[in-house]
Amino acid sequence: MKTKRLRKGLTLRLILSLLVLATVFLTAAVSGYAAYQANLKSLSASYLVNNSQYAQKLSSNTGNLLNLMQTSMNSIAQLAGKQSFTEKDLDMWFTFNRQYFNSVFVADDEREIKVTLPADAGVVAGTRLLSEASKRAVESKTPFISEPYVSTTGRLIVLVSSPIFNGDGSYAGFVGGTIYLEEENALSKLLKEHFYGNGSYVYVVDKESRLIFHPNKERIYQTISSNEVIQKALAGKNGSQKIVNSEGNEFFAGYAFEPISGWGIVSQTPTRVLEEPLEQMISNLLMQALPLLGVVLTVAWWLASWITRPLYTLARYSEESAVHGNLTVPASPSIHSGLYEVRQLYQSINSNLNRLKAESLTDGLTGLANRKAFDLLIAEWAERKVPFTLILMDVDHFKKVNDLHGHLIGDEVLKYLALTIDAFSREEDLCFRYGGEEFGILLKGCDLGRATRIAERLREKVERSKSPIAQPLTVSIGVSFSYSRDTDVKTIIEMADNALYQSKTDGRNRITIYS
């Protein structure tokens, strides 16, 4: 008879291995994330600081450049106040200052242009200036740098002017130098130096929050007062912060205020520039960590196997013992472990399994094998085609023994019979208590004749021996033989039982062989 094997679940080795793997990968993930965040924070701070410093540097350089332009314009204005000043003198001055100004002109106190350079500036001598900047120049009679404005030629310009005074101190007009913000000059060149391939750029706004310098020409002169860094810059502050522009793009922005012109200068870098270095950092971390990770996983796997292998062996041994179909416990596995818990568990399991097995297969009163042991062994021999003889016996008139002498004496009678029966069996045979006052012997490889002789000597021994009731006892016996390989266990038992019943019917204290 086969016993159904227990359904297996997860093994401890698998759980420990998965736990180690999860721990290693989680540690690596946490470390990688921490490194990623640290580098992200460091690079972000670096770009913010760099852009802030560059915006302040541009502000300082722009202020110095405007001061230089104003000083140069003041010097030509002083020359223009002298009677000896000629157009040739202006031409010579312009030649030396052309890097700063796109055009230069001299106007009288009525704002009429007397002379202008270069010839293709878009205005000619005799033209009367109508711009607010020219009006301010005549009214204030002081040096100043104008707000950016669109001239009659359609250019976005800044006017740097200086008053002309004659030798007697009377006001004679002013000298003006124009800077075309969208064309080549020292100022535009200065602001273009920050254009990098990573998307960084600079833009400048005037006091009215209008863009006067931007890499996208289409946006020039647009008002963008809603931008937070522009508001801070025009409020006279310097600093940096992360912003999202009107198009939804995120930038590291540095801003600064230029006090001479009142402009706000912003230098910014798109945050996407961090993607490549961070990806490279993660890649480098993985390349460096993979060999070490492999070593850690190998060692962890070996340790998990070393710890769990003996436990797995014990679990299999315990399972095999629990579902084993034989009378004997499977051979104990060889366990060699340095773990105290494993050694103790092995000893305990081995001891308890043997004890439980013995208890489950032994009759508690007589010490013989019980009905379960008999059923297991006879089924095993039948399955293996082992020839055997079955002797079944029953104590005659056992009910009278219990009625006359009590059940305690009855138990002693059963123990006495068990000892007597055991004396007539071999090591390979099985003596068992079949139930109540019925006993039996399974004789392995024993022919019917020899089994009959054993049964007869046993019957005579019981009849002649002194029993616990101080009176002779007799037994009735039935014998059957597994003479056919096709005969099943149930039939063999029924044959012996029928023979025993026949002995009882024929007067007891006799042997009947089933035929």
Burial of 433 (0-12, 13-18, 19+ CB in 10 A): buried
Give CATH superfamily name and number for 65-180: PAS domain (3.30.450.20)
Residues 6+ apart with CB under 8 A from 196: none
Q: Which residues contact 303 (CB under 8 A, 6 or more apart)?
A: 20
In contact, 253 and 201? CB cutoff 8 Å: no
Listing DSSP states for 256-298 in one string gives EEETTTTEEEEEEEEGGGGHHHHHHHHHHHHHHHHHHHHHHHH
Q: Which CATH class is domain 361-513?
A: alpha beta
Which pLDDT does position 3 carry in this prediction?
Answer: 45
Query: Rounded CA gap, 146 and 133, in Å?
Result: 6
pLDDT of residue 251: 92
Q: What are the start and end residues of each CATH 3.30.450.20 domain in the chain?
A: 65-180
Distance of CA 340 to the CA centre of its chain: 34
Q: What are phi and psi of 96, to 5 degrees?
A: -80, -20
pLDDT at 2: 45
pTM for this entry:
0.58
CATH 3.30.70.270 range(s) for the chain read: 361-513
The strands making up 239-244's β-sheet, listed across from edge to edge, are: 211-213, 201-205, 263-270, 250-258, 239-244
What's the full length of the chain, in residues? 515
Mean pLDDT, contiguous 10-residue spans, the chain (515 residues): 52 72 79 83 90 92 93 92 86 91 93 90 87 93 93 89 92 94 88 70 91 87 87 93 86 94 92 82 78 78 74 69 56 67 69 70 91 91 89 93 92 93 90 93 90 93 89 92 75 92 93 89
What's residue 484's pLDDT? 58
Nearest alpha-carbon partner for 503 in 494, 491, 515, 513: 513
Question: Strand pairing of 430-435 and 250-258?
Answer: unpaired
- Residue 455, C-beta contacts closer than 8 angstroms, at least 6 positions apart: 391, 393, 477, 479, 511
Q: Which of 253, 257, 227 is nearest to 52 (CA)?
A: 253
